[in-house]
Amino acid sequence: MPDSLTIAEGRKLDIQKIRKDFPILETTVYGHPLVYLDNAATTQKPKAVLKAMDDYYVTINSNVHRGVHHLSQVATDAYEAGRKKIAAYINSRHTHEVIFTRGTTESINLVAACFGKKFLAAGDYILVSAMEHHSNIVPWQMIAEEKAAKVRVIPIDEKGELILDNLEKLLEGVKIVAFNYVSNALGTINPAKTIIDAAHRQGIPVLLDAAQAVQHLTVDVQDLDVDFLAFSSHKLYGPTGLGVLYGKEEWLNKLPPYQGGGEMIKTVSFEKTTYNDLPYKFEAGTPDMAGAIGLGAAIDYVQQLGIEQIHAAEHELMVYALDTLAGIDGLRLIGATDARHRAGVVSFLVGNIHPFDLGELLDKQGIAVRTGHHCAQPIMDRYCIPGTVRASMAVYTTPEEIDRLAAGIRKAAKLLG
Ligand SMILES: *Cc1c(COP(=O)(O)O)cnc(C)c1O
C-alpha cells in the first residue's frame, strides 16, 4: 500500500467531511462504491447548492428586473447577489463586467460573433492553440469563414506544452488571441500571463477559456489583465445550463449586442431600439435565476474551503496519481509528467488497448472515467492516437480512489492484454 496516509495527514482539508456534502458520492455502481473520476466533464454538486436552488423555487421564484412587486424584487436581489459573488471570486473591477450565459461554449461564441462582427476583416488572423476544446476552435472558424479571416495555431510539444519560442511571430496580423488556461484533455496549465502580456505588447486582446481553471486555481482577472474570460458553472460545483463571460468594461462597451430580445434593451420602437447598459446588453430574455443563485452558493462553498487549499490538496493528489500510474506496466501518460504543470486531469493509454475498451472495463468496476478525444480532436491528431482514457479529479477525490483506479487498470489490462 503506497503512502496515501502521509498524503491524508499533510492535507489541510478534511476530504472525508467534504465528501459528506456530496450525497451522490455514496452511489454504488455494479455493486462497487462509485469512483467518480469524470470531474472535468462535470463536477458533482454539494447539498448547499441544491438547497439554495430549491429555496429559490420554494420561496422567491419570480421574474427578475421586471416587476414592481415584492417577490420580483427579492428574486432580482438574489440573482444579482450571485453575480456579485462571481465578480468577487474572479476579482473583476466591476460587477457589471460579469455576463451570464449558458456556458463556456456560449461565452466564447458571444465574443467570437460580436468581436468578429466589428473588428475582423479579410486577411486578419485569430490565434488559438493546438490544445483547445472544440468550443474554442469552431466559433472562431465560423466567424473566420464569414469574414474571410484565418485561424492560426500555437503548436504543442511532445510533453503537451505550448511552444512559445516564436510567439512574437505568431502574433503578427492577429486581431484576437484565444486559448485555454488549463487543458481539459491533458490537464496542462498554460502560462496565461506570459501569453497575455505578449499579446498586449502588440495591442491584441485575449480571451481565456478558464473552464478547467476556476475550480482548481486562483483566477484573478485583474492580475492576469485578461480582456475576456469564459467558464461554466457546472464544472465549478454549480448547476448546469449556466456560464459566465467576464469582459473588461471597455471591451464589452465596444462590442455590439449578441442576441436581441427582452432585458437587453432600453427602449424599443420600429424606428430605433436603444440597448441597455452592461451587463444587461448581453442578457437577452429571462435569465437562469435559479442557476445564478446556485452558482453563487457553489462559489460560497469553494471560498469556505479556500481555493488555495483546494489547489494544494489537488496538487498533492496529482503527485500521488502520476506516481501511482507510472508504476503500471505499459501505461503511457499523455502530456506533462511534472505535476506542477498540471491540474485536475490525467490522460493516458495502456499498451495497445483501445481507450473505449479500458473505459468500459473500469466502468464495470464502478470507476467512472472518460474515453475518447475529449472534444479536443486536434490534440489526438498531434499524438497520432485515437483518444485517451481521462481520469479527472475534484476536491472530494481521495488517494484511495486513485488506488482503485490503478487496481482497475491492472485488472482490465490483464483481461484485454
Ligand atoms: C467543458 C469545456 C468547454 C465547454 O464548456 P461547456 O460547459 O460545454 O459549454 C470549453 N473549454 C474547456 C477547456 C472545457 O473544459
What class has domain 50-304?
Answer: alpha beta
What is the Å distance from ligand 1's center to 104 Cα? 5
- Which CATH number is correct for 8-33+306-416, 3.40.50.10470, 3.90.1150.10, 3.40.50.150, 3.30.70.1140? 3.90.1150.10
What is the Å distance from ligand 1's center to 133 Cα? 7
Grid cell digits, residue 267: 427602449
332: which strand partners?
349
Phi, psi of 164 (to 5 degrees): -110, 10
DSSP string, 396-417: T--HHHHHHHHHHHHHHHHHH-
What is the Å distance from ligand 1's center to 211 Cα? 5
Identify the active-site residue in 138, 375, 385, 416. Answer: 375
CA 402 to chain CA centroid, nearest Å: 22
What is the Å distance from ligand 1's center to 135 Cα? 7
190 lines ligand 1 (CB under 6 A): no
CA 103 to chain CA centroid, nearest Å: 9
133 lines ligand 1 (CB under 6 A): yes
Say what the pLDDT of residue 67 is: 80
**Tens-binned pLDDT, residue by residue, of the chain (417 aa):** 334 434 444 448 999 999 999 999 999 999 999 999 999 999 999 999 999 999 999 999 999 987 889 999 999 999 999 999 999 999 999 999 999 999 999 999 999 999 999 999 999 999 999 999 999 999 999 999 999 999 999 999 999 999 999 999 999 999 999 999 999 999 999 999 999 999 999 999 999 999 999 999 999 999 999 999 999 999 999 999 999 999 999 999 999 999 999 889 999 999 999 999 999 999 999 999 999 999 999 999 999 999 999 999 999 999 999 999 999 999 999 998 888 999 999 999 999 999 999 999 999 999 999 999 999 999 999 999 999 999 999 999 999 999 999 999 999 999 997
Could you check whether the bond before residue 279 is cis, i.e. omega within 30 degrees of 0?
yes
Q: How far apart are CA 384 and CA 349, in angstroms?
A: 12
What is the Å distance from ligand 1's center to 66 Cα? 32
Q: How far apart are CA 369 and CA 386, in angstroms?
A: 16
Residue 75, CA distances (Å) to 62, 67, 109, 292, 295 in order:
6, 10, 28, 11, 15
Give catalytic status of residue 384 as yes or no: no
Grid cell digits, residue 222: 485583474
Q: How far apart are CA 210 and CA 217, in angstroms?
A: 10
184 lines ligand 1 (CB under 6 A): yes
131 lines ligand 1 (CB under 6 A): no
Domain boundaries along the sequence of the chain: 8-33+306-416, 50-304
Q: Whose CA is nearest to atom 2 of ligand 1?
A: 211
Say what the pLDDT of residue 336 is: 83
129 lines ligand 1 (CB under 6 A): no
Residue 79, CA distances (Å) to 5, 50, 139, 231, 251 in order:
43, 15, 29, 18, 24
* DSSP for residue 190: P
139 lines ligand 1 (CB under 6 A): no
Say what the pLDDT of residue 408 is: 98
Q: How far apart are CA 265 and CA 276, in angstroms?
A: 4
Pocket test for ligand 1, best of 42, 182, 212 (most atoms within 8 A of CB): 212
* DSSP for residue 135: G
**In the chain, how many H helices and how many E strands?**
15, 17
DSSP string, 11-25: -SS-HHHHHHT-GGG
